[in-house]
Amino acid sequence: MLTNLELGLFVFMLATFVGMEIIRKVSPLLHTPLMSLTNAISAISVVGAILITGAEHATALSKALGFIAITAVVTNIVSGFLITDRMVKMFKKREAKK
């Protein structure tokens, strides 16, 4: 059986290669929205922030640090996805214009 560490390293290795291959194919036109999108996605660390803040015996320190962390990372999620959408909406083809 794999330990958690081994499994995690496995997942990490695969995800890194998948990431490399996918990102290489992203149009250079979209590198700026790409960066804000990956940023919003990596704000998935909100999961960790929720777990530390919401732990049953969370200390005052945990709650305070977790609170700041959730605030920071939710800001990233909301502004990251919305601004990415705002940017990609701007890319239009010539045919779309009159």
Partner 1 sequence: MQHLVQYIYIVSAGLFILSLKWMNTPASSRRGVFAGEIGMLLAVAGTLMAFEVHNWQWIVTAFAIGIVVGIPIAYIMPMTAVPQRTALSHACGALAAALVGTAEFYQRQPQADTELRGFVMVALVVETLLGFLTFTGSLMAMGKLQEVLPQRPITYRNQNAVNFVLFVIAAGLAVRLILVPTDTWLFPIFAGLALLFGVLLIIPIGGADMPTVIAILNSYAGLSACAMGFALNNNLLIVAGALDGSSGLILSIIMCKAMNRSFTNVLFGAFGQVQTQARKGEQRPVRTASAEEAASILESAASVIIAPGYGLAVAQAQHKIRELSDALTRLGADVKFAIHPVAGRMPGHMNVLLAEADVPYDRLFEMDDINGEFAQCDVALVIGANDVTNPAARHDKSSPIYGMPILDVDKARTVMVIKRSMSPGFAGIDNELYYMDKTLMLFGDAKAFVSEILKELPARVGAG
Q: For residues 50-69, which are near partner 1 according to CB under 8 A?
A: 50-56, 58-59, 61-63, 65-69
Residue 98 touching partner 1 (CB under 8 A): no
- Write the DSSP string, 64-81: HHHHHHHHHHHHHHHHHH
Closest CA to 66 of 42, 44, 43, 50: 50
**Considering only residues 1, 2, 37, 98, which one is a binding residue for partner 1 as defined by CB under 8 A?**
37
| Binding residues among 4-33 for partner 1 as defined by CB under 8 A | 4-5, 7-8, 11-12, 15-16, 18-20, 22-33
- The DSSP secondary-structure symbol of 97 reads -
For residues 95 and 98, what is the distance between their CA atoms, to the nearest angstrom? 7
| Binding residues among 74-93 for partner 1 as defined by CB under 8 A | 74-93
